[in-house]
Amino acid sequence: MLAALLYGQEDLRLEQVADPTPAAGEVVIQVGAATTCGTDLKVWRRGGHAKMLKPPTLFGHEAAGIIVAVGAGVNNWQVGDRVVANNSASCMECFFCQRQEYSLCPNLTWNNGTFAEYLKIPAAIVKHNLLRLPDNLPFELAAMTEPLACVLHGVARSNIKPKDRVVVLGDGAIGLMFVAALSDKVEVMLWGGNDQRLEIGQKLGAAQTFNYHQIPDIPGVVKELTQGRGADVVIEATGVPSVWETAIACARPGATVNLFGGCPRDTTITVNTEQLHYSELTLKGVFHNTPEYVRSALSMIASHKMPFELLISEKRPLKDLEQVFYDMKARQVIKVAMVCSQDLISQ
C-alpha cells in the first residue's frame, strides 16, 4: 500500500509498504479520509513527538473508513462497517484509569499511520475507542472526531459557568472547535491572525473576533471589554509560549486559564507570582481526550448542528500530502481531507 512515513524534521516520504494484517483483537480499515491536524504540523516541523511517535514511523492520526479485515476474537465488528477510530486507548487498569483520569494513563496505546491506504487498529482501541458511523456522515467529517474530543475534554476542564466571558486565543482548527463547542453556552471572544478564519469563527458562534495584527494589545482590549477585570476563562490554542503568557495576562482575578496548545519540548514561560497568588488564578494544562469525549464528539459532528465542514479547506489526494503541509505551514489552509482510497470518495 501507499503510506506516508515521517523520517525527521520536515522529512515526509510516500512509500510502498506492506499491507497491514490484523492480529487477534485487531481490525484493518481502508482509509476513506484522513484529516490533517495542527499537531501533525508541529510534529512534521519538529521531527517527532514526545509521547505519540518517534521517526521513522507511519504518520497521521485522524481517519475514518471501512473495515476490510477482522482479527481473531473480534465479535462486534465485521467487514464493511463504516467506522472512526480514536488514535489512542488507555489501559483501564492503572492508578489514573481507576480514577477515570484516562488521558493521564502512562500505558496509552497510540496509533499512527492514517495517511495511508489502509490502517491497522490495535486491540485496545478496537475495544474502547472504535465507533460506528451514521450512514449519512461523510468520512472527512467523521475523521475530525479525535480533535473535537480533545476540545470537549478541554471544555470540561475549564471551569466554565453560565454567563462567563471566554477568550479563545488562536484561530486554527482547535481554536475554532473551542468556539463551536462553547458558543451556545457562553460569550466567546476569538483572537487570531487571519480574517478568513475569524469569519469562520463568527459562523461557528463567536460573539466577537479580533485580528491581533491590527489590535496587538490583547490583554488591554480584553480588560476594556470586561469593565477592567479580564476574562472569566481564557483558552490558549496556539502552542506558542509567548501566547501562554498573554493568556495569563488576559485573565481576571479568580479566572481559569486553560493552557491547551502544546509548546515545544522543555519550553518554559514566565509567570508573575504576585498575580498568580493574589488573583487566585487557576492555570491548567489539558491533554488529549477520554472515551467519554470521543463518543460525545462523534455525536456532536453527526448532529450537523455546527458547520464543521467549514474547517476543511479542501480535499486532496494522498500524493499531495507533502505540499499540504507546506500550505499548512504558510497558513493557507486550516484542515485538509486527504483522500487515501479513491473508491471510497462517495461513501
Domain co-membership, 133 together with 209: no
Q: How crowded is residue 324: how many other Cβ atoms within 10 Å of its Cβ?
A: 25
If you average pLDDT over residues 238-263, what whole number do you get?
97
Q: What pLDDT is recorded for position 55?
A: 81
The pLDDT of residue 274 is above 50: yes
Domain co-membership, 128 together with 191: no
Name the CA dihedral angle for 267, 197, 327, 316, rounded to a multiple of 10 degrees.
120
Binned at pLDDT 50, 70 and 90, residue 265 comes out as: confident
Domain co-membership, 230 together with 335: no
Domain membership of residue 243 as a residue range:
158-285
**Which grid coordinates belong to 207?**
460573539
Domain co-membership, 271 together with 302: no
The pLDDT of residue 31 is above 90: yes
Domain co-membership, 129 together with 230: no
Domain co-membership, 279 together with 232: yes
Tally DSSP H helices, then E strands, for the chain.
Answer: 12, 18
Q: What pLDDT is recorded for position 232?
A: 98
Domain co-membership, 130 together with 185: no
Query: What CATH code is carried by the domain that includes residue 205?
Result: 3.40.50.720
The pLDDT of residue 345 is above 60: no
Percent of the chain at pLDDT exceeding 70: 98
Per-position DSSP letters for 233-260, written without gaps between them: EEEE-S--HHHHHHHHHTEEEEEEEEE-
Domain co-membership, 299 together with 273: no
Q: What is the pLDDT of residues 71-105, one digit of tens each?
A: 999 999 999 999 999 999 999 999 999 999 999 99
Q: What pLDDT is recorded for position 42?
A: 87
Q: What pLDDT is recorded for position 50?
A: 62
The pLDDT of residue 223 is above 60: yes
DSSP state of 23: -
∠ Cα 66 72 78 (to 5°) = 30
Average pLDDT value over all residues in the chain? 95
Domain co-membership, 230 together with 172: yes
Domain co-membership, 182 together with 49: no
Q: What pLDDT is recorded for position 346?
A: 44
Q: What pLDDT is recorded for position 303?
A: 97
Q: Which among 239, 259, 285 is the end of a domain? A: 285
Owner of C-alpha cell 477568550: 167
Q: What is the pLDDT of residues 178-222, one digit of tens each?
A: 999 999 999 999 999 999 999 999 999 999 999 999 999 999 999
Q: What is the pLDDT of residues 36-65, one digit of tens each?
A: 998 899 889 887 776 677 789 999 999 999
The pLDDT of residue 342 is above 80: no
Query: What CATH code is carried by the domain that includes residue 308?
Result: 3.90.180.10
Q: CA 171, CA 179: separation in Å to the nearest integer?
A: 9
Q: Which among 285, 305, 327 is the end of a domain? A: 285
Q: How crowded is residue 218: how many other Cβ atoms within 10 Å of its Cβ?
A: 20
Residue type, 141: L
Binned at pLDDT 50, 70 and 90, residue 69 comes out as: very high
If you average pLDDT over residues 119-130, what whole number do you get?
98
Q: pTM of the prediction?
A: 0.95
Q: Which among 285, 306, 328 is the end of a domain? A: 285
Q: What pLDDT is recorded for position 103?
A: 96
Domain co-membership, 329 together with 265: no
Domain count, the chain: 2
